[in-house]
Structure 1
Amino acid sequence: MSARTSVTVAFALNGGFYASWATRIPELSEQVGAGPGVLGLALLGTAAGMALGANPAGRLCARFGARSAVLVSAVLLFVLVPMVGLAPSVAVLAVLLLLFGFLIATLDVGMNIGAMHVVRRLDRPLMPVFHAWFSFGGLAGSLGAGAASGAGLPVVWHLLLVSVIGAVLLGVLGREVPDDRPAGHAHAAGGVAPMRRPVLWVLGLVVVCSGLAEGASTDWSAMFLVHERGVSTASAAVAFAVFSVAMAVSRLTGERLERRFGPYRLLIGASSVAALGLVVMVLVPLAWVGYLGFGLAGAGLAFCFPVALSLAGSSGSGSGEREIGFVSGIAYTGYMAGPPAMGGIASASDYSVSFGVVALIVAVIPAAAKGAAVLRARAKVASPVG
């Protein structure tokens, strides 16, 4: 249980770190004197750092273990996060966010590998539940940031406080992050490269479609409701909360649903629900249907990333470090590409068309999940280790 608790705390810390600085972007924008366009380019540093860091993180975990990756990346984040609040210029902010994204990716891959160890130890499909705590950590971080901003606490002091809280939690529980190593691990780590594994590319298609839809829904849900459904900006902001809460709560049910339906049927069913929600939201010109659509999208997309990662981690003969790093890197490209792609489509047409495109992208996931199931079955027939 201590290992499970430690991994849960790592997920919550990751979500909290990300949300704590992200929700204070308006103040950081004023601090560095950046307009929306220039600031947007600087913020791409985080996504780029995550995309660049995932594969190296998997290799680091394979060599040194998940516990080392989690502890080292978290300690470096404790130092780096307050520095974001001191950035004097856009250029410095962009560099800091690039490093931040790289470290977040290392922490993310490490904690997912630690979660896989817990899943194996307990023989329970807990990956969606762990990811629920990332969502709850993000909610806590955003609420804390709102309170800090409302109290007039400078960004640097707020982020320093976040780092101190994280350091205390990690100091208590970080050593319990599991770092299981099966016999023959070194040989397994040197096996077939992830890039030569078709099933990992198909699972990558699942997570890149999911990540694109999640990033688009997070960044553009309010704009859709304001421009296409005529609601106020204050009311439109609720859409993100609906999406996030639906995702977090759905993930808490992940173990029960995966036991009942299996991972592939869960992926197919959940992504179908998400696609349906987006289609209905676009086609029915009622504001309340928009909120319902984002809720269904959040509930369905909730399972795509954690279940696909779990399948990737269990697809090889080793501990899954390189597989999880490889698929995570593909997922981060979706998060990075989704919002700007949505903006471009909306500029050329409108937000209804752009979310219609997102719905079509999500509709690819069921077919990809079926393909992954077929490839996994063939691999098991060809090799006893899958």
Structure 2
Amino acid sequence: MSGSSFTSIPVLDFSQVLSPSKPTFLASLREALVNVGFFYLQNAPISAQTQEQFIEKALGLFELPLEKKVEIEMVNSPHFLGYSRLGAEITALKPDHREQFDFATELPAPGPNEPLYRNVVGPNQWPDETAIPGFREAFDTYLSEVSSLAELFPGLIAEALGLPSTAFDQVFDTPQQHKLKLIKYPPPPEASNESGFQGVGPHKDSGFLTFLLQGTPHHGLEVQNKAGTWIPAPPLPGTLVINIGRSLEALTGGICTATTHRVSLRPENFQDSGRSLGPRFSFPVFQGVSLDLSADKVSLKIPDHILALVKNDKVKSDAEATFNKIFHGSIGEGTFIARVTSHQDVGQRWYPEILAKALKGQKDFLKC
């Protein structure tokens, strides 16, 4: 398989990690990291019951009356956590045709003397427990199990790249914050021009890894190979979809590939043999790196034989540019600006001056 021509997403078996087949897993992981940037993971240590209960409660949350959902509307949170109405988030300069809730590992708000960008971390807004009993318990259990899996992967990636298993420990906060989005993609209006609607526009995730549970059988997730072809990534029962973010790509000098992806709202993605599937539901967990991380705190010595896997000089230069953009200064600044511009209603309420400057394309204005 070559990175320019992959035509399907590889499937990795996590059960190999705890068996004599671990070298086989690491070789498959290295291939996925270098040439695809996406892979399915089967036999992940997340119980089927945990997933089922979480999906049930997540779907129930979207069924609440609007007046209950807006009690925890994101605009009320300086930490960008809570409910976003249909079309409230912007990707690639266009609104996304999706409704969503953003939650994260429960952490306290930053103190008054901490950098402003640390406001991307803070306490959640929780739905009324009487309106949806058991939601928080189901949420906490699911996020806990995914977080445990996520925190194993930096060590596995390090081993796959010929590094000590602790090589990436330096790039994470303790405790780590993991962000979990609950997303509903309704079908576009029948009378609309589908091309005018995007589930989520073409983009690369910004963090370390993303762990996606596709909660319904819809197609729609598509991954772009280096030839520019869109490859479908439909749900496979019993799997998560894992993809590499720009932070991991930058940290590894382009060895690990952050791949462009999107969610398509073509009408056929909401049909199965002529039967309507209703809305598509999707639940990604985003694993971020330390908000205070900067170039002088990063020290990775990737072996030459691993570096040689990237033969394309453009890939190397793009990764270097990404590294310079993300890690010179602090990654928290870029994360913060991305939140402000993606959720402009929150930016307008809590950070209006920063939003105005960001929209004008000004740089280096964030005071720490």
Compare the two structures and name the one with the higher strand fraction.
2
Using structure 2 for the length normalisation, give the TM-score.
0.30
Q: Which has the higher contact order (CA 8 A, sep 6+)?
A: 1
Using structure 1 for the length normalisation, give the TM-score.
0.29
